[in-house]
Amino acid sequence: MNITSRRISGISKLSLLILLLAAGSLGAALSYMWTVAYYVEVGHRVPQGITTITVTNVTFPLEDCTYFEVSVLNPSYSNADANIAGIAVVGMDDGAEAVLDVPPESVEPPIPYPLSKGEDVTFRCLINWQDFAGQMVYVSVFLQDGSGATSPYETARVKLQVTNVEFNTRVTVRRFNVTVVNSLESSISLNVSEILFDSTSIPHENITIKDEGGSLPTQLAPGGRTIFICNWNLLEEGALNSSHTITVRTLQGYSATYQTPTLPPPPSLSITNVVFAVPHTDTFEMTILNQASSPHYVSISKVIVVNGTQRFDDVSILPTPPLMLEPGDNVTLKCSWNWDPFRGQEVGITVYTKQGFYTQTDALVEAAGNPVASFDYSPTSPHSGQAVNFDARGSYDTYGTIVNYTWDFGDGNNATGEIAIHTYTDDGDYLVSLNVTDDDGLTDATSVNITVLNNPPVASFTESDTIVLTNHTITFNGSESYDPDGSVILWFWDFGDGDNDTGVIASHAYLDNGNYTVTLAVTDDDGSTSVANATKTVLNRPPIASLTESTENATIWENIDFNASGSYDSDGSIVNYFWDFGDGSNGTGIIASHAYATNGTFIVTLTVTDDDGATASVNATKTVLPTGLYSMYLIDPAEVVHDSIAAAQWTGVIYGFEGSETPDASLRIARNTTNAKR
């Protein structure tokens, strides 16, 4: 049903449709203006003229909700012929106003329909109006070029419900129950005519009424309730482990739906160990397992054997069915069936449960009078050089005794006995065979392919030194590495500083100090590898301090230039030069200058620091002599007067003078001169 819910802002759609009745009158201008809003809402052209039509009758047949009828008259006094453009029903759907637009192709006679003045016509609208049952609805007829008309109609109450759908796969998967109710509020009796499983109609012959018998169609009076038993195989229909929609339909066109919960998956059953044993050719045995993952128990009810076109339904079983199997349980059945004529042939065996589940397998009819060879071994993934235990205690002879066990280990070695131990010297795949012989001389054999894994090599090495200085060569020796079941073919050295090498013996010197992990990886002739590690501590080499000077002996206030560019760091760089001039003064930098203020012997010390914080020092002895001249800085050389030093002024020129007078007296004068400065 094409029901469209629409909401018109500001005014109720129901009010607008009522006003549409008045819109045809010339005097109801205001009502007509409100009606315009609804025309726009439903998508029809707003009337521009005053062509008057009238809805003379509306019929919603209670006995058939698949159609309704509306009769329309174009009065003879109408302004013009009318062209019927559309028909709609307005009501409520789940509490909201809803519009049911009737598609033109669902109207008889078809629309658009020309309606002459003075003519009337009855339209049959072939659309299901079930959702409007029990409501006051408004049927509107729209024109393309004139006014429309609306008529109210109160439909009778009819309500059909599916109140329950019952599935119980613990009991059966062949049927389910559907409970249908015709509400007490319904105005008529309903005839249930069809039940659909999803989109598939269940045949009438598969539906019966619980406790009453009979089939469809079935009448339900108002307030009536009926349970329908639907014989529908959920397993064969693939309906388990999913949800489904059940739909109930009536002859009157009313319907109801029910969405089921997800059904449980089918139990997981399997047939194992089918045994045809002589001399009992009239019976065979097999084991049935209900997997632990199954959702619930099953009850085994019968066994069928098929050979080609022959089907044997009369197979009796022990224990007597039904046999309940909980999840995880198994049972061995003894089945009565003469299999002797079918020796060497394959037969199909199907086991059925009371619930309707089944499992099947194909089995070769092969006499089980011979002994059965079977063995286990451990470990299941042995390595070469490792003892493997072979145990044949799983072998059996139903009608006798095994007297001999013979083993072939697949590597040229063999043994006898129920239990054997064997060690493989090399890795690889080996076919192990066991032959058993019983006390009647009958034999059986079985073989298992086992994989013997390679033993990885053992990496080991020695080194000439553990703690060294940078640039010291260390010798590494990997000759102690070995492969227990082959040979080592590759030695790969990773020295931990980005360098590597190959060979049994390798040498390496580290350029920088630090802790390095040396890794030796050895590979054997089967491609397996192993590693060994050792940590090398490489110590920093201190820098070398070296200096030169512009002079070894100097006089007071004579500049001496010192140069440390001959210093170096063999495994890094020098980051600091510190000079101690021995007179309480110091300096930094590769090159430094210094003048001594007093005479004497001074120890000059250069200390250099490398980028790892290591230091080294070198000393040099400086002899500073007193001068034999008294030097002054004068403004003008002409002003140098032996007896008038105090009047002297400073210049950048150095002059010396000598006199027979007391030099100390002259020096004292110079030192007391106000502007005197050395």
- In one letter, which amino acid is 455? N
The mean per-residue pLDDT over the stretch 485-501 comes to: 92
Domain segments of the chain: what residues? 3-154, 160-259, 269-364, 376-452, 462-539, 548-625, 630-672
Residue in 138, 130, 109 with CA at minimum distance from that of residue 61: 130
CATH number of 376-452: 2.60.40.10
Strand intervals (E) in 310-442: 310-318, 323-325, 330-336, 346-353, 358-364, 376-378, 387-391, 402-408, 414-416, 419-423, 428-438
Q: Is the pLDDT of residue 94 over 90?
A: no
420-470 per-position pLDDT tens digit: 999 998 889 999 999 999 887 888 999 999 999 988 999 999 998 889 888
Write down the residue that tokens 């809805």 correspond to. Answer: 55
370-429 per-position pLDDT tens digit: 789 999 999 999 998 899 999 999 998 876 789 999 999 999 999 999 999 999 988 899
CATH 3.20.20.410 fits 548-625, yes or no: no
The band of 367, judged by pLDDT with boundaries at 50, 70 and 90, is: low
User: Rounded CA gap, 270 and 358, in Å?
Assistant: 9
The band of 628, judged by pLDDT with boundaries at 50, 70 and 90, is: low
CA distances in angstroms from 503 to 497, 526, 670, listed in the order given: 18, 18, 83
The more confidently predicted of residues 552 and 31 is: 552
The band of 28, judged by pLDDT with boundaries at 50, 70 and 90, is: very low
On the question of a cis peptide bond just before residue 104, with omega within 30 degrees of 0, the verdict is: no
Q: Is the pLDDT of residue 635 over 50?
A: no
**158-169 CB burial, b ≥16 within 10 A, e <16:** bbbbbeebebeb
Pick the range with the lowest mean pLDDT from 235-239, 397-401, 478-482, 517-521: 397-401
Considering only CA atoms, give the Rg of the chain. 57
Cβ neighbour number for residue 261 with a 10 Å cutoff:
9
The mean per-residue pLDDT over the stretch 258-286 comes to: 90
Max CA separation in the chain (angstroms): 163
User: Rounded CA gap, 304 and 360, in Å?
Assistant: 9
User: Rounded CA gap, 151 and 427, in Å?
Assistant: 96
User: Rounded CA gap, 53 and 38, in Å?
Assistant: 17
Parallel/antiparallel/unpaired status of strands 615-625 and 553-555: parallel
On the question of a cis peptide bond just before residue 217, with omega within 30 degrees of 0, the verdict is: yes
Q: Is the pLDDT of residue 298 over 50?
A: yes
Q: Tokens in use for 95? A: 């509490």
User: Rounded CA gap, 653 and 636, in Å?
Assistant: 8
The more confidently predicted of residues 9 and 499 is: 499
580-615 per-position pLDDT tens digit: 999 999 999 999 999 999 999 999 999 999 998 999
- In one letter, which amino acid is 576? N
Q: Which fold has domain 160-259?
A: Immunoglobulin-like (2.60.40)
On the question of a cis peptide bond just before residue 261, with omega within 30 degrees of 0, the verdict is: no
The dihedrals phi and psi of 341, each to the nearest 5 degrees, come to -70, -10
Please report the pLDDT score of residue 286 as a whole number.
Answer: 93
241-266 per-position pLDDT tens digit: 999 999 999 999 999 999 999 999 99
Classified as helix, coil or strand, 21 is helix
Write down the residue that tokens 């409501």 correspond to. Answer: 135
Q: Is the pLDDT of residue 296 over 60?
A: yes
Q: Is the pLDDT of residue 545 over 60?
A: yes
Classified as helix, coil or strand, 29 is helix
Please report the pLDDT score of residue 50 as a whole number.
Answer: 59
CA distances in angstroms from 321 to 268, 317, 333, 337, 353, listed in the order given: 19, 7, 10, 16, 9
> Is 110 exposed, middle or buried, given 0-12, 13-18 or 19+ CB atoms closer than 10 A?
exposed
What mean pLDDT, rounded, does the chain reach?
84
Quick one: how many helices (H) and strands (E) in the chain? 3, 52
Instruction: Describe the crossing of helices 13-23 and 29-42 by its angle, rounded to 10 degrees.
Output: 130
User: Rounded CA gap, 547 and 564, in Å?
Assistant: 4
The band of 42, judged by pLDDT with boundaries at 50, 70 and 90, is: very low
Q: What is the pTM of this model?
A: 0.49
The total number of residues shown for the chain amounts to 678
Write down the residue that tokens 């760089």 correspond to. Answer: 573
Q: Tokens in use for 632? A: 């002054």
Classified as helix, coil or strand, 307 is strand
Q: Is the pLDDT of residue 667 over 70?
A: no
Q: Are domains 160-259 and 548-625 of this chain identical in fold?
A: yes
User: Rounded CA gap, 328 and 482, in Å?
Assistant: 51
Parallel/antiparallel/unpaired status of strands 586-588 and 574-580: antiparallel
Please report the pLDDT score of residue 146 as a whole number.
Answer: 60
Cβ neighbour number for residue 631 with a 10 Å cutoff:
14
Q: Is the pLDDT of residue 554 over 60?
A: yes
Please report the pLDDT score of residue 39 as a whole number.
Answer: 44
214-243 per-position pLDDT tens digit: 888 999 999 999 999 999 999 999 999 999
User: CATH: 3.30.390.10, 3.30.1490.20, 2.60.40.10, 3.40.190.10. Which one for 269-364?
Assistant: 2.60.40.10
The dihedrals phi and psi of 22, each to the nearest 5 degrees, come to -85, -15
Pick the range with the lowest mean pLDDT from 42-56, 114-128, 375-389: 42-56
**554-579 CB burial, b ≥16 within 10 A, e <16:** bbbeeebebebeebebebbebeebbb
Superfamily of domain 3-154: Immunoglobulins (2.60.40.10)
Paired residues of 114 in beta bridges: 83
Write down the residue that tokens 């002297």 correspond to. Answer: 648
The mean per-residue pLDDT over the stretch 654-676 comes to: 37
User: Rounded CA gap, 508 and 501, in Å?
Assistant: 9
CATH number of 462-539: 2.60.40.10
User: Rounded CA gap, 246 and 202, in Å?
Assistant: 10
The band of 368, judged by pLDDT with boundaries at 50, 70 and 90, is: low
**298-329 CB burial, b ≥16 within 10 A, e <16:** bbbbbbbbeeeeeebeebebeeebebebeeeb
The more confidently predicted of residues 278 and 78 is: 78
Please report the pLDDT score of residue 624 as a whole number.
Answer: 93
